Amino acid sequence: MKAVKIGIVVCCALAAGLIVYMSSGPVEPDAEALDFVTTLKCVACGAVYEVNGTEYHAAMERVNHTPPLYCAKCSEKRAYHVIKCPVCGTYFFREGVEGSNGQCPVCRPDFEPTIVDDAAEPEINDPGTPEGPRRRRHAKSM
């Protein structure tokens, strides 16, 4: 009777180990989730290029899902998503990328992000954009 109990415990432990092993593999997105194209730009060489969903997923895995990505042209780890200006077509980086304020450098070359108190209400500071009014972004006071 004791041997049967030990056999059951061993089988349960092996089954639990198999379940953990099979569920800990990399998560692969389905084909529909990879059906997109995105544009990247390298800070180092200035190259602008498109990647499809499969290429983007592989690039993100290569950097542990933490941008920047490796540039397809110069191989430097300095490629980021870019935004295409709807007015002039210039590609620019989002706020937070080195040397970028998140505004088009051609249409808004003198734009400086406004630093406001965290407790203050957001104010409208750009009523003339094609997308409509934008709100100031809150930045932490130093």
Amino acid making up residue 120: A
pTM of the model: 0.55
Tell me the per-residue pLDDT of 33-69, one tens digit each, with 9 for 90 and over.
788 899 999 999 999 999 999 999 999 999 998 889 9
According to the model, what pLDDT value does residue 113 have?
A: 46
Confidence check: pLDDT of 130 > 50: no
Mean pLDDT of the 57-85 span: 92
More confident residue, 92 or 22: 92
Residue with tokens 């194209």: 37
Average pLDDT over residues 112-120: 43
pLDDT of 131 above 60: no
User: What is the distance between the alpha carbons of residues 16 and 73, in angstroms, rounded to a whole number?
Assistant: 46
Query: What mean pLDDT value characterizes the chain?
Result: 76
Nearest 10 degrees: CA dihedral of 8, 13, 16, 22? -120
